[in-house]
Chain A
Amino acid sequence: EVQLVQSGAEVKKPGESLKISCKGSGYSFTSYWIGWVRQMPGKGLEWMGIIYPGDSDTRYSPSFQGQVTISADKSISTAYLQWSSLKASDTAMYYCVRTEWELLGLGAFDIWGQGTMVTVSS
């Protein structure tokens, strides 16, 4: 079964660092892109960025550039999203997603992780 399994919920204080993970299985991890999507409580979906684990090519949404770091370790089929200094406004559900390069560019987010809830509160 093709799946993305994310790390568990986190509760952190403002200013703390955090790294959450997304492990792919059931497919060739290095042949697909892994992206991250934020959903703040009661709000819509926001694309944060994407990485190609095959060569670590990484692209960020302008809204998130410099705010987070996306990385991947292809040896263990895992992608990461990390913050160096969390803010209360980072409180949200974070989903990892899979996509692939099609003829006209990147395609659908066909597989979604179950989500990681990050709560930042003093």
Chain B
Amino acid sequence: QAVLTQPASLSASPGASASLTCTLRSGINVGTYRIYWYQQKPGSPPQYLLRYKSDSDKQQGSGVPSRFSGSKDASANAGILLISGLQSEDEADYYCMIWHSSASVFGTGTKVTVL
């Protein structure tokens, strides 16, 4: 079982909100981790979006619009990336990441399609 699991794909309409989940493997408590989110558009390197651990421990990447935000669902043991007011330019792959046992671990990635 992967350390971080993301749904393979998600589709939504322009203007809608999209909620991307990053589920941590059983036994790894989401509450103790900073979760980092990255966006990768085709043919480009990933870009850092934001970090979220709690409302008092969060960081927006430089120049990242505020319609990208982070949260957690403790009951699902998951981190969440919320994209509000979806735009066509948001069509990309999204990866979550944590530092676990002194190693960086990436999620499996979610491909977001804006219909």
Contacts and interface: CB of A to CB of B under 8 A. Distances in A.
27 contacts: A37-B106, A44-B106, A45-B38, A45-B40, A46-B106, A47-B104, A47-B105, A47-B106, A50-B104, A59-B102, A61-B103, A61-B104, A62-B103, A105-B99, A107-B34, A108-B51, A108-B61, A109-B38, A109-B46, A109-B48, A109-B97, A109-B104, A110-B61, A112-B45, A112-B47, A112-B48, A113-B45
Nearest to A110: B48
Interface size class of B (residues with CB under 8 A): 20 to 34
Contacts of A37: 106
B77 interface: no
A45 B62 CA distance: 21
A35 B47 CA distance: 15
Contacts of B103: 47, 59, 61-62
Nearest to B36: A108
A76 interface: no
Interface of A: 35, 37, 44-47, 50, 59, 61-62, 95, 104-110, 112-115
A114 B45 CA distance: 6
Main secondary structure of the interface of B (DSSP, over half): strand
A80 B16 CA distance: 43
B45 A106 contact: no
B84 to A, nearest CB: 21
B51 A107 contact: yes
A37 B36 CA distance: 15
A114 B108 CA distance: 21
Contacts of A44: 95, 106-109
Contacts of B51: 107-108
Nearest to B108: A44
A35 B36 CA distance: 15
Contacts of B95: 44-45
Nearest to A48: B104
Contacts of B107: 44
A102 to B, nearest CB: 8
Contacts of B47: 112
A94 B3 CA distance: 22
